Copies of this chain bind each other. A is one copy, B any other.
Amino acid sequence: MYKVKVFVTLKESVLDPQGSAVKSSLHRMAYHEVSDVRIGKYLELTIDGPAESLDHRIQEMCHKLLSNPVIEDYRYEVEEVVAL
C-alpha cells in the first residue's frame, strides 16, 4: 500500500487572486512581513496497486483529473505504508 502526496500549484506566470486576498488579510492583521502568498491543492491518495506501474498511473491521474496542466504544475511524493 502506498500513500501518495500530490501538490498542485499554479504556474508562476498565472495570477493567484485567492493568494492575493490571503496576503491582504494577513497585512490587515499586521503580518506585514509576508511578501507573497500562493495557494495550491494538497491531495493524499491511498493506493493499493503494484509498484511497477505506480509512477505512470499517478502521472496519468494528475494529468487527466487532479491538475489542469494548462495553468497548474504538480509534483508528488510516494511513501510505502506497511500494513499492521
- Name A's B-contacting residues (CB within 8 A): 1, 7-9, 19, 22, 25-26, 29, 31, 33-49, 57, 60-61, 64-66
Contact = CB atoms under 8 A, between A and B. Distances in A.
Number of copies of this chain in the oligomer?
2
A47 B29 contact: no
Contact of A65 (B9, B25, B41): B25
A43 B65 contact: no
Nearest to A8: B42
Given A25-B65, A65-B25, A44 B49 contact: no
Given A9-B44, A19-B43, A38-B43, 11 more contacts: A31-B57, A31-B60, A33-B48, A34-B47, A36-B44, A37-B43, A39-B41, A39-B43, A40-B41, A40-B43, A42-B42
